[in-house]
Structure 1
Amino acid sequence: MRVAIFTESFLPSVNGVTHSVMRVLEYLRDEGHQAMVIAPASQGREPDEYAGFPVVPVAAVGLPGYQDVRVSGTTQLRLERLLEDFHPDVLHLAAPIALGHRAALAANWLNIPIVAIYQTDVPSYAGRYGFSGAETFLWWRVRQIHSIATMTLAPSTYARTQLVQHHIPRVGLWARGVDSQRFDPAKRDEEWRRTIAPNGERIIGCVGRLAPEKQIGDLQALADLPDTRLVVVGEGPLRKELRSTLPNAHFTGQLTGEDLPRVMASMDVFVHPGELETFGQSIQEAMASGLPVIAPAKGGPIDLVNSSRTGWLYAPGDLASMRHHVRDLVGDDRKRAAFSREARLSVKDRTWRSLCDELLMHYEEAIVDARSRANA
């Protein structure tokens, strides 16, 4: 099969969209398929290829104050020519909004089946960034893109319901895998723990972009919990502000390679305060690392966290409840160990291979559906 992947984000930017695209490309390579990636240019820092497949950069500009977020303004004609040269069997749109919109129009013009992967709640993000007036337009754009698609795949039941409520047709489910060999409790680093928590404090961890939509500032509710140390992993535009808000927290910056699973396995409890997660990949990685998770009962965490078994869900905005659940777990070694075991077991078999097998079936279904419509 020949798959053209259009993604709104790719290397060197590291985030959930990039991560998912990388895993899909590795799967396609291992299974003998052909692929190409079209992504916004990143000032010459993007790779020429990934997993043996070409990466084609297209013209893009960075958002003011957040240059890592690239928005492509390339033309539909340019994308049509790329598709005509590659002759894909199916188009994969990763978190489409700008580049994905023109890619959908180009593929529709060329009668190429489209599988659109909904991953980022862009309209709600706009509200977090102070552009609430743009939400109506952005939902119109999301509806326009996904209505063109042969099928849309949402990452969670919450996201699927959200899309259906916005009158988007043909919405299915496709979750995400997790590498439980990479993320493993056995990687716990006691020396690192002694450095961060020299008096044996329990380590409360959070991993995420230091940006408004992740609500890292909510962790201030945990700042004065006795015998604990807060560790924040990530980079982003709010780094300086959050260092001021959480002066006693340890900020690691962005971690990659083996550093990330080593640090995650060395935490005791994982807190994910963001309320706009369509899925929550870092939650899965934390659970694979043997961490109980505390997160808001909104979005992707609802499908991932089994309250009173693998962690706790709290009502969005109820930071007193978040604090109560964290205090409960850091203060009870036996309960925390039981939650830790269950968290690991709940995701251990949720492999990227099995999820990509499922994605391949969705590709095949989209191809059949597109042919049926053409012959109708």
Structure 2
Amino acid sequence: MSSPNLRGKKILLATESWGPVNGVSRTTKSLVEYLLCNGADLTLVAPVFQGKQSSPSELRLPGCPLPYNPDLTVVYPFHLEHIFNTFTPDLVYLASPASLGFQMLLQIRQLRNPPPVVLNFQTDLSAYAEIMLPGPLDRFGVWLLGTVQGFLFRTESVRRIFYPCRDIRGYLEGVGAPVDRLVRLGRGVDTGLFCPSRRDEEFRKMIAPNGEIVLITVCRIAPEKGFEFLARVAERLVDEKVAFKLVIVGGNRNPTVEEKVQRLFDGVRDRVVFTGFLTGDALSRAYASADLFLHCSVTETFGLVVLEAMASGVPVIARDQGGPSDVIQHGLTGYLVPPRDLERFVRLIREVTGDRTLLAELAGAARRYADDTTWEKINCRAATHMAEVLSQIDQESQVPRQVARPGMVGTFIEQLRLMLAVGFVYFMWLISVVPLIVHGNRFLPRAWQALQGQFQGTRPLRS
């Protein structure tokens, strides 16, 4: 596959997450490496992470780490005034726009000659707002977030909006994002790192010394990742006398969050192994040494870990909501289960792990699917769209305009909408970030109660 020509093009890439171990960081890192290898002149803007110093081509902005997930930093309002005064990019790429991305879009709207924008919608903030905010503030927060996203995404400079799955496309259409700018992109996987050959029998013996089946889940330890459901799955497997070990890979730099998750498994602790964060060879070994991957989160827009498990030759059973619904081929590479159907989830685990022929067939199909979803192909598609946008801008610049584009939004209505969007940034700080700063970890019990309500069916998830 030939690479698009971006050599020498000045690209300003802004990301909400650069450094932590999560799907957004890994996806963005892969794209950055691809663009640099193909000669792009890249400048990166991101929140400060663990006090890391910025390189000459990297600008770190101050912000507030979230107590329930210190790896994520919400950029302080309006620290971007000087960026476009000192740097004129050919194109702006926004990875998973939130606090930083929203503010950048607001500033771009006011430029006389704004650069074209490509954004990648990787995080469904409204799903998080629905879980984290108490009612009725949750419904108001979801509505307000969708209103502002629709307003910002309709900015004339936004030429492409990448989305990862059908659910997210439906959401974007619902908030008013222009349909003709939506492009499904997805994510890729490193099929060299994640592959069946990484299976380690000694590791399996250490985890499951009595030959138990090995189940695995990989994700950040956080309230919204489905651990309430997973703990009930483990309890039911114990009740049904299934010989298994459950490996949970992931962590959280807030020890209170990790403790709450681990306490969910108190009744089955002899069956559960918490490894903490794993990366590189250690992570690939853990994947490939398992028999079955369990995905219990219902907030994933894609679910990169699902693809990594499949590349490792490990079939997946997942709750049928969000990104995994588009990745897993039901009955071929794994199984999708209605989000609240605990009985069916447990029954499929027993059926798949009890039939070695079926397990091998699923594993082979999963690997074949992953072979066609490499980072090289995904990043080439993203870069191709960037090159197409730049080509369109070049063509448009050759067409004379009868009326010059104003430097500031001129109409009263547009000014009012802009003021509302600016106010939204401060409002979200007021209702979400500031309370987290003041109350810290006391916020967490409310989130856990909300999640338990979702599992029990008392508070339906937004589809």
**TM-score with structure 1 length normalisation?**
0.93
Question: How big is the shift at 1:64?
Answer: 3.3
> Which residue in 2 is equivalent to 1:126?
129
Question: Residues 163-210 of structure 1, C-alpha deviation per residue, up to 9 Å, x if partnerless?
Answer: 112221122111111100000111111111111111000111001111
Whether 1:221 aligns to 2:240 is no
What is the aligned-residue RMSD (CA, Å)? 1.8
* Contact 1:42 1:60 (C-alpha < 8 Å) held by counterparts: no
SS in 2 for 1:326: helix
* Contact 2:68 2:222 (C-alpha < 8 Å) held by counterparts: no
Question: How big is the shift at 1:84?
Answer: 3.9
Distance 1:309 1:47, change over 3 A: farther
* Contact 2:69 2:222 (C-alpha < 8 Å) held by counterparts: no
Paired with 1:64 and 1:43, the residues of 2 have a C-alpha distance of: 14
How does 1:288-303 map onto structure 2 within 5 Å?
Answer: 288-303=311-326
Whether 1:33 aligns to 2:40 is yes
* Contact 1:221 1:323 (C-alpha < 8 Å) held by counterparts: no
> Which residue in 1 is equivalent to 2:170?
161
> Which residue in 2 is equivalent to 1:88?
89
Whether 1:311 aligns to 2:334 is yes
Question: Residues 326-356 of structure 1, C-alpha deviation per residue, up to 9 Å, x if partnerless?
Answer: 1111111111011000000001131111111
SS in 2 for 1:69: strand
Question: How big is the shift at 1:47?
Answer: 5.1
Paired with 1:31 and 1:367, the residues of 2 have a C-alpha distance of: 16
Letter of the 2:283 counterpart? L
* Contact 2:302 2:322 (C-alpha < 8 Å) held by counterparts: yes
- Which deviates more from structure 2 when the two are superposed, residues 124-133 or residues 172-181? 124-133
> Which residue in 1 is equivalent to 2:260?
241
> Which residue in 2 is equivalent to 1:107?
108
Structure 1: state its 5+ residue gaps. none
Structure 2: state its 5+ residue gaps. 1-8, 402-463
> Which residue in 1 is equivalent to 2:193?
182
Paired with 1:84 and 1:372, the residues of 2 have a C-alpha distance of: 25
Distance 1:136 1:370, change over 3 A: farther
Letter of the 2:176 counterpart? H
SS in 1 for 2:284: helix
How does 1:130-141 map onto structure 2 within 5 Å?
Answer: 130-131=133-134, 132-133=138-139, 134-141=141-148
Question: How big is the shift at 1:369?
Answer: 4.4
* Contact 2:216 2:293 (C-alpha < 8 Å) held by counterparts: yes
> Which residue in 1 is equivalent to 2:54?
48
Letter of the 2:95 counterpart? A
> Which residue in 2 is equivalent to 1:231?
247
> Which residue in 2 is equivalent to 1:69?
72
> Which residue in 1 is equivalent to 2:10?
2
Question: How big is the shift at 1:235?
Answer: 1.0
Letter of the 1:234 counterpart? G
Question: How big is the shift at 1:82?
Answer: 2.1
Question: Residues 246-283 of structure 1, C-alpha deviation per residue, up to 9 Å, x if partnerless?
Answer: 13211111111211111111111001111121111000
Whether 1:97 aligns to 2:106 is no
SS in 1 for 2:336: strand
Paired with 1:139 and 1:285, the residues of 2 have a C-alpha distance of: 31
Question: How big is the shift at 1:370?
Answer: 4.8
1:274 pairs with one of 273, 292, 297:
297
Whether 1:330 aligns to 2:341 is no
Q: Paired residues, what number?
A: 369
* Contact 1:94 1:116 (C-alpha < 8 Å) held by counterparts: yes
Question: How big is the shift at 1:43?
Answer: 4.4
Letter of the 2:24 counterpart? V
Question: How big is the shift at 1:86?
Answer: 3.1
> Which residue in 1 is equivalent to 2:429?
none
Distance 1:211 1:203, change over 3 A: same
Paired with 2:77 and 2:48, the residues of 1 have a C-alpha distance of: 10
- Which deviates more from structure 2 when the two are superposed, residues 194-203 or residues 147-156? 147-156
SS in 2 for 1:223: helix
Question: How big is the shift at 1:74?
Answer: 4.6
* Contact 2:121 2:164 (C-alpha < 8 Å) held by counterparts: yes
Paired with 2:342 and 2:394, the residues of 1 have a C-alpha distance of: 51
Paired with 2:21 and 2:53, the residues of 1 have a C-alpha distance of: 13
SS in 1 for 2:376: helix
Whether 1:195 aligns to 2:206 is yes
Distance 1:319 1:47, change over 3 A: farther
Letter of the 2:244 counterpart? T
SS in 2 for 1:79: coil
Paired with 1:83 and 1:20, the residues of 2 have a C-alpha distance of: 25
Question: How big is the shift at 1:98?
Answer: 0.7
Question: If you compute each CA radius of gyration, which structure gives the higher value, 1 or 2?
Answer: 2
SS in 1 for 2:154: helix
Letter of the 1:290 counterpart? G
Paired with 2:50 and 2:380, the residues of 1 have a C-alpha distance of: 34
> Which residue in 1 is equivalent to 2:409?
none
Question: Residues 128-185 of structure 1, C-alpha deviation per residue, up to 9 Å, x if partnerless?
Answer: 2234242222222322332222221101222112211222112211111110000011
Paired with 1:370 and 1:213, the residues of 2 have a C-alpha distance of: 41
